[in-house]
Each structure stands twice: as structure tokens, then as C-alpha cells.
Structure 1
Amino acid sequence: MEKSFSRSSRISQELQKNIAVIIQHSLKDPRIKTIITVSEVRLSKDLSYAQVFISFLENNYNLTVKKTLIILNKAAGYIRKLLCNKMNLRIIPTIVFFHDDSFFKGNKISVLLNKIKKNNNIIL
């Protein structure tokens, strides 16, 4: 019987959980003043490189995105060190953080669809 999940997808899910916990509890940077959500982790085929996509809610959106990404990418080595203690992997992947703005894009599309619906009296 085949496994329903590949090894890389199981590792990426576990990395997502552990990185979220580390950012929330172990990363005590006073410059980070927002709640960060780890939305996805993409691993390379050899499991040595991880793209971590984060999203967060903040009023000063563009300013916060740039600053928070810089802070997190500078702390990636520390986060990787903490992952070594939590996970039993031979190679802990190198982490690079990226911004995930899919929530805001989806929200914008939803608002546009609602406007069209109101203007044309269409039931969706």
C-alpha cells in the first residue's frame, strides 16, 4: 500500500508547525510587534533548502512587511539552530522567509465580486 503523503510534505508540515512555535515563543525580538503566521513551507527536492511563507496583519502594512522579513531572515540561523533541537533530521534545511499576500489578494477579489453582485443583482 502506498503512502498518502511523501516524505518532503510530511517534513514541510512539521517544519511549518515548529517554525511557527519558535517565532511565537522563542524569538524575543522587540522590533516584531505583530502576530506572524507561517502559511506554507516549500522544501527543495534534496530537503536542504526551505522557503517559508509568512503572513501577518498590521496597519502599516508595507513598512512592516519589509522590516519583519529583514529581521526574520537575519534570525534564520538562530531559528535553524532551535529546529535542530526539536526535529530529528540529518540535515536541517536552510531557511529563507518570504511574504505570502494571498489572503489580501483573495480579499480584494471577494470585494470586487461583491460589488459586481450588488450592481447586477446576481445571486452567486
Structure 2
Amino acid sequence: MEKLFNRSIRIAQELQKKIAVIIQYRLKDPRIKKIITVSEVQVSKDLSHAQVFVSFLESENQLNIKKDLIILNKSASYIRKLLCKIMRLRIIPNIIFYHDDSFFKGNKISFILEGLSKK
């Protein structure tokens, strides 16, 4: 039986904080003009891979989202290098960015439920 709050969960939470700060303040890519929110980080048990789920503010166009994800995934090695300097871990995981659209899906469901309650 696993612990409820094991090491990989704590590292994932810390990575989420650090990656959000790096994207906001240290990533100086002029192609990214949106606010990017790191909503979740999932780390493998051996800490070699991290899935970073991000959402973009003011971006509904799927083409723009794909372009931004490509930019983020190309800058993943730079972000990883900065994480090496910030965090004291033996293994810094390889980072892969994914789009998280759960906020928009939840908002859509909320509007549907509001429409049903008014009838």
C-alpha cells in the first residue's frame, strides 16, 4: 500500500510552482503573448518524465493552442536547465507540455446546467 502523500506527489507540486514561475518571468519568447497557467504536473514513479498540463488565457483557437504547445515543448530543455539550478534533485525529469481544457469544459457544463434550471 502506497503512502497517501509520497515523494513523487510532493515533487510534482514543487515542479508545478517552479515551472509556472519560469514560464511567467524567465521565458522571454516574443511569440508567446498569452498568460499561461500550469494547472497540473504528473511525474512518473522513477522521476524521469513529467507531464505538464497548461491552459492559455484568451485562446480559443485550436491552431494557436497547438503553436503555443510546440513553442513550449521546444523550450522544455531550457526550462529543465533552469530547474536544475533551482531544485536540488538528482534527476530532473524530462518535460512534455499538454493542453488542459478542463476549465472550458467545466464552464460549458455549468452553462448547460444553468439553462436546464431556468426551464
Deviation per residue, 1:10-61 (Å, 9 max, x gap): 0000000000000000000000010000000000110100000000112453
Contact 1:83–1:92 (8 Å) recurs in 2: yes
Alpha carbons of structure 1 residues 112 and 60: separation in structure 2 relative to 1, 3 Å:
closer
Residue 80 of structure 2 corresponds to residue 80 of structure 1 = yes
Between the aligned partners of 1:59 and 1:101, the Cα distance in structure 2 is: 11
Structure 1 position 64, deviation (Å): 2.0
Which amino acid in structure 2 is aligned with residue 104 of structure 1? F
Contact 2:59–2:65 (8 Å) recurs in 1: no
Which amino acid in structure 1 is aligned with residue 32 of structure 2? I
The two structures have a TM-score, normalised by structure 1, of 0.91
Which residue is equivalent to 2:100? 100
Paired residues for 1:29-68 under 5 Å: 29-68=29-68
- Quote the sequence identity (%): 71
Unpaired segments of 5 or more residues in structure 2?
A: none
Which amino acid in structure 1 is aligned with residue 71 of structure 2? I
Please identify the structure whose Cα radius of gyration is greater: 1
Unpaired segments of 5 or more residues in structure 1?
A: 120-124
